[in-house]
Each structure stands twice: as structure tokens, then as C-alpha cells.
Chain A
Amino acid sequence: MANKTYAAVMANKTYHDGAVSGARRVVDAALIVLLTALCLVWIYPVILILSNSLKLETAISTATVFALPTSETFVGLANYVHGVTKMNFLASFGYSVVITLTSVALIILCCSMCAWYITRVNILASKLMYLLCAFSMVVPFQMVMFTLAKTADTLKLNTPFNICIIYLGFGAGLAVFMFTGFMKSVPLAIEEAAMIDGCNPLQIFFKVVFPILKPTAISTAILETMWVWNDYLLPTLVLDIKKYRTIPMAIQYFRGSYGRVEMGPMMACIMITVIPIIILYLACQKYIIEGVVAGAVKG
């Protein structure tokens, strides 16, 4: 009894409470119907884009957007082919992947090392670094966007390969904060034992500490990936939009620059952006949801 979880008690109430049970079962059935309807509303926007991405260009207008493709208006994957070639979408996809992977890898590696250092070495600089990281999480991007873009230009960080340094700097706040939050609960004894066995600090970190940090690393990686992959403003200001376009940049760019936007290819590109996210989400849902909860509790 003592360790009954909330969910167990709630479930128990539902099915075994005698007199209440009948009424509750009706309520539950009604709720399931309601939730199912709500879920359909929830995914409807994506379905709408999908249906329009399969339609003939001339059949798409604000008045007919809700009509499903018919045999006359159905064009199969033509919009997808056109969108991908015209917007050079594969290149954008590539840039987004490269930037996200390098940035997140760099953030996880550097920030976990930094967090270990500032929890284990008790000097003023460590405390200062921690406070600044916490502070940086609240500062809105607009505060630094202009000067950051100028700094990036001066230091030649304006390519898809170097931009990860800026992401490391701006993403460090959250990552260091999360890693130190976890590090504080890791006992010193194991590391001391490793030291007595003759490990140097680098070996201690990679052989002993990092494996312990793995759950936090996964949570942090998920939060940082969600941020970098979807980020629009930072790459827009730092990268040369004529040469390098990430996915959010490409979508905004093609909407703004062409007088009449071709809706079909545009929606096809949106689908190409959304589908991998959905697949990835369904595949590692457990980690993503755990990551969000862990991040929220620390933050």
C-alpha cells in the first residue's frame, strides 16, 4: 500500500470503486471519444498540408485549400520533385544536418567536460562560469543578435562548419547547467579510486565520469537538437543566405523572394521537413519525452 503510485491509485478508482465505477466508466468512455476527436484536430494541420502537396498548382487557393485531391487535381509526387530541385532543398537538408550534428556533438563534449571541471575544482572562476551560464539562459537572443553577427563575420565563423562554435557558445548555458545539476549528485569516491589507480584527469573523465553522465547527455542532446535544427534567426544573420541555406531559412527565403509563391512545391518541402521529424520522434519517443521532463526540472 505504502508505495502505490498515483497512476495505480487512479486506475484502481476507475475500475474497482463499486458504486462509483458505473458512472466512472461512462465518463471514461466519453473522455476517450473526446480525446480521439481532439487528436484528429491536432494532426489535421499536417494532414491538410499533405493533401495540398499532392494537388495541381492551379487547384490550390485559399478557397479550395480544404478540398481533398480528386482524380483531376491529383499530381502524385510532381510537387515534391519540383520543390526539391527548384529550392535546392537537398543542399539545405544537408546543411541543416551538418550544422545540427556538429553543434550538438561539440556542445555535449565540451560542456560535459566544462561542467565536470567547475563542479570538481572549487575556485572563483568555476562559480562565475556557472552563474554566467545560468544567466545566459534568460537573455533573449535579440539582445546579442546584432553584435554576435558582427563578431561571427570578423572571426570568419560564417560557414556551416564554423557556425558550431557559435552554437557552442550560445548553447553552453543550458548544457552546462544540466550537466552540473547532475554532477553534484555523483559521488567523488569512484573518481578518487581511479586516480589512485593511476588515471590522469582525461582518463578519469572519459573512462569513469562520461559513462555516468550518459542519461543527462542524451536529454541535453535532444533539447539542443530541437533548438539547433529549428533555429531560424541565428543562421540567417550569420550565414550568407545566397550561399548556404538551412531548412528554416530556405522556407522563409522562398516565401519572401518570389512574387507569387508556388504553393504546391512549397507544401511538398514542408512535408519533407516534417516527415523525418515525425519518424525520428516515433522512433525515440521515450528519450525525447524523458529529455523534456529532465530539462524542465533542471531549468
Chain B
Amino acid sequence: MKPSQLNMIRLLRGLLAVCLVWVAFPAVVSADYPYSTNYKSGTGSLVWTQAAFAPEQVLGRDIFIADPNDPSKQVQSPLAQPRDLFIDSEDRMYVADSGNNRIVLFHPNGEFDRILPALEGTPLSNPQGLFVDGKNHLYVADTGNARVVMLDRQGKLLKEYKLPESRFIPEDYRFEPIKVAVDKRGFLYIVSLGSYNGLLQLDPEGGFVRFFAANKVPFTVLDSIKRMFYSKEMYEKQLSKLPPAINNVNIDDRGFTYTVSFGEQLDSEQVKKLNNAGKHFLGAGSNLGPGNNTFGEYRFRTAAQKANLKDIAIDASGNFSVIDGDSKMVSQYDAFGNLLFFWSGDASPNTTQLGIVKSPAAIDINSKNELFILDDNANLIQTYHQTEFGALVYKANNLTVDGRYKEAEPLWREVLHLNAYYAPAMIGLAQSAYASKDFAEAKKLFLDAGIQEGFSNAFWKIRLQWFQDRFGFFMNVFLAAVVVFLAYKMAAKRFPALQNPPIRLRIRSRLLGQLKHSLYVLRHPIDGFSALRYENKGSYLSAFIILALAYISYAVSRTQTSFTFNMEAIKPISGMTVFLQFFLVWIGWVVSNYLVSSILRGEGRFMDVFVGSAYALTPFIVVGLPLTLISNGMSLSEASIYNFLHQGMMVWIFLLLVWKVQSLQNYSVGETVINLLYTAGTMIVIGVLCFILFGLSTELRSFIYSIVQEVSAR
């Protein structure tokens, strides 16, 4: 099992224990705010940070209207299942109070302003989304009436958009507008409930333009198998074959359209950032790596947990925050989609706390970087202000994103001073160091931050510099070598004795001979292996030594291969785990192969299989070790060389095993293939059996225990 899996299991058990018996953390861990803030680095390790946003206050408890029975009096009229919140360019806040079929306005300071008068004719019915454009026109997704209305700030109806007639709209298209956004040209982008066609884009007059930003159908290996075997009807009936539906839409000041999607099988592109032409702007690679394309973070993900993002808020610099409706996690990214923070607190059913959202419906941010989250269960709005630390990080990151590395540097230094583990600061400083040609520093910082591409690029520069500095020296060495060689050739002509090989030491020890035989096996596998069998060229002792060397080489290559090719280089890795991974597979192979061979008229004894399989691992020593060494002098631009050698080593080992079977068991090629297939099958069966045996014994123990418990405890 991988260490990460082991960790996961330990973690789940830990979580379970926490659920059953909650043990308070010591006072020192508990921060003052009722939630904790995190960052997750590229290696997936969780970093705890100071809060980026601090709870400020709740809004929406001071809404008063004239008493319908006695208009001279004011009565309280709280929000009811409000579904959307929008903050316009002047920080005025609008809330779609869906349960009360109305729109509520708030002043920039958070105080209640007024309620828009009911529309004449058809009043709003369950309005679930709204948007305010630069001209102070208010667009409301009037879900219950299947229309979008455009109002002025007084609430007067200016225009009404219904589903337009178009042959491009499918006949079974159900139009239930829940969210709406409008671009600078006045084009509308409408989210219809559960629609997988994408956003319905209308022109300012209400004419159909196109379906925009539709998600792709997720397609897995399993699907391709199903497609092969299922009939067309069966295949189409599969519900999961629909593209993930868009949950929400937003448009920022620069004209980018953002969609937020949710689907059972959606593992990436939960957030998309598109220009008018539909081009994606997130997840694009840079010198920092492949770019982030998954959104909605978790501290500890439980199996099958998927981010269910509800809404997105974009600040003036293009940084965005999304909120997960299930985990209540707020995740914050910069304009390129790189993670900055994520935070959430545990909402207890018994408490309502400042800063803790029970059921988030919408999120938005104003020009002062205050965050607003609409809670449609508690029927109020939680507000947050940026903390010192949050403000510092955003300021520094905005400068880095703009390429002003030098200006960002002192800020990042301050961030790193406050939190030495905060990777974005390391990346920011690394970029700054790279830009100012301090490649050694950049390399170190990229290593700390876990960024392979950046590390490799910095290393490439260092290596280039190193070679350039020593160009003269290398040329001299080369010339000297040529001269020496020529001199030797000339001398050899005159004194033929020089051409005789130098006197070799005779290896007398049998063990050394057996060990040396492993090299012979590499060159002449068929002969070499049969010599193991018939010429006593191998023994258990030599096999164990080679096995131990192979394990050491394997472990060294796991831990010492350059970070450029090996993410594990900066993770803690346990020798025991590597040992188990290495030996369980090997022992499984040896046992299965011996059993299968002895049935299939093989001639090899157990010892032969054991020794042969050990000798077949020699490439780990002769290729793996040097490759590990060389990898530390390679950058990503030589990745193909590295990969060729690395995979070549694996292929070689595989071939050696094949030859081992063929030669030791004295098989024809066909028999060898059959033997190999059976061996593989046996290994799987042994694995499954072990698993079942282990599972069953646990079950049995649990069964007996539960009977005893039932009798004694009840």
C-alpha cells in the first residue's frame, strides 16, 4: 500500500474516533476565530495559516416593512431562503429574497436600505438570481415565471426576457432561469436549473445567440468498455452520460465569464474562466507547473466527496473565492487559479456563530475586499474583513501576478516571516530571485515550495552557467585527452607490449564468482541463467546479497533521484514502506512462479527460481544507481532521456525475468508466455486470497465480539 493510502486510512480512523469521542484540542491550538484557515501545497501537505479573513458582523436582521394591518407601524420582515446576493460597483448590496418573492437593497455600510416595490402585472415569483450592470440596470432571474427581467434602481420594469424562439434550442429544453450575468455589451448569460446545454446567451434584444461554456461529458475507461458492449439504447440511458450542470455564472470587470459547475464525476474545471470567444484561462501551464485546474478544497477528503461549488466572487484584481455548499469551505485563488487560502468552520446544529455559515447560497466581495456570504438556512448575511495577513498576501500576490517581482519581494519576505510554511510566499520569492538571476536561491525556494518546473528551470540556468564558467577547463581536458590518446597509439605501435591487457586479479572466492556472474547474466541471459542452474554459479547467499543490493539501489533511487523527476524526494518516506512494496511483489512473484512452473513441467527447483529472480534484479544496481546519480545533473529538458533510461531499466528487468523462466525451466517461447500469464494470474489470486483471509478473520473477530457485547452490554 502506498504511504498516502496508509495515511488516509489512519486519518479516517482518526476522524471516526473524533466523531465518536470528541477530545478537545489543547488551548494552544485553538485560534480565536471559530474556524481555521489552511493552504495545501503542491505535494498535498496541509499548511495551517493565520486567518485571511476575520468574521465581522451579520447583516439582514434589520429589515422592516410597514405592517400590512396597520401601515403606521413597522414590523420586522426577515429574509426567507434568500438565494443570491450581488454587490455593485458602488458597494451597494442586492439580495434576491426568494422565499418572499422580492429584492432587498442594502447600503454600502450594510444597513438595510429598502425593498423594491412589487412589479405591476406579474410580480416576481421565487427570484433566485440577480445581476447589476454598470448602468445600474438590475437583472433578476425570475425563476417562478420562467423569465429574466431588467429593472431600474427604482424597481421599474424596463424589459422582459423569455425563452426565445430558435431552432438551435432543443425541444425538450426546460427554461428555469436561476442565475444571470450580463456583459458590457448587454448580452445575457443565463443559467437554467439543471441544464447541461451550457449558459443560454441572449442578445440585448432577447434574441438567441448560442449556448455558451457547456461542459464536456466526462469519459472514463469504463465508459469506453461500456460503449463496446452496450447497445446504443442502453448506453444512452445512462444518466451519468450528461455533462455536469452549471451551478452559477459571474462576469468580472475585465469581461471574463466565470462558470461554476457540479457533477458526480466532475474532478476538475469546477470553475471556468472564459473570454467572449469561449477560450479557457485557468489551468494553463507556466514555468510554475501545469497550472491548477481543480477547485474547491478539502482539509481531509473523505471517499467520494466532491466539491459542490455554489457561487463565485471575483475581486478587482481577478482573485476569486468560491464556496462549497456541502463542506461550507471557502477556497480562494488568484487570477491564474493558484490556491491562496481555504477556510471553514464546523457548523454545529446547536449553535449559530458569527463567521460560521450553515447553508451557503451566494458569495460576493466588495471594493474594500470585504467578503459577504449569504446563508439561506439562517437567513442572514455573514460578512468578513481581510486580516493583516490576508491583506499582505493578496497585495504581494497581485504584484507577482503582474510580474512586478521586485516590488513583491519585501512583502513576500514579511509573509514568510509571519508564516514560514506558506508556499505561495516561497514561490513569489523564487520568481523574484529567478528574475534577478539568483538561480541558486530560486532553486532552493522552488524546492521548498515543491514546484518541479521552477526547480528544473533554475537548475538548468545554474548548470549552463557552470559549464560556461568552466568551458576553458573542459576544452583543455578534452584536448589533453586527445593528445594522451594519440601519444598512446603512437607508443603502442612502437612497444606492442603496452597493448596487452593489464594483469587481472584472479577471483578465487566462489562467492565473488557467483556475484560476478550477475554481470554475465546481463550480457548472456539464456546462458547465464542456465549456468545458475547447472554450473553452481549462484547460491542462496549470493542471491540474498544481490537482492539486498537491489533493494538498496531501489531505495536510493526512490529517495535520491533529483526532485525534477521525483516528487517523493521532498516527502518523508519510510524505509519499511519501500521494503514492503519491493519485497511483497518479489516474494509473490517467486512463489507463484515456482508453483506454476512445477505444475507446468518446469525443470527448475525452488532455489533456481529464487536465485534467478534475484539475479534478474541486477539492472536496479547497474542502471538504477548511476541513473539516480545522473538525474541530479539533469533538468526537465532532458526528461525524455531520463524516462527512456528509467523505463528501459524496467523493461530490461522484465525481459530478464522472461529469459529466466525460459532458460531455467527449459521452456519454448510459447510455454514461457503461458507460464508468465499463469504466474501473473496466481499472483493476483494470492493477493485476493490474502485480502479475503485478512478481511474474514477481522469479520469473524468482530462477529464474536459483537455477540459478546450484545449479550453483556444490553
A interacts with B: no
By a beta-carbon cutoff of 8 Å, the part of chain A in contact with chain B is none
By a beta-carbon cutoff of 8 Å, the part of chain B in contact with chain A is none
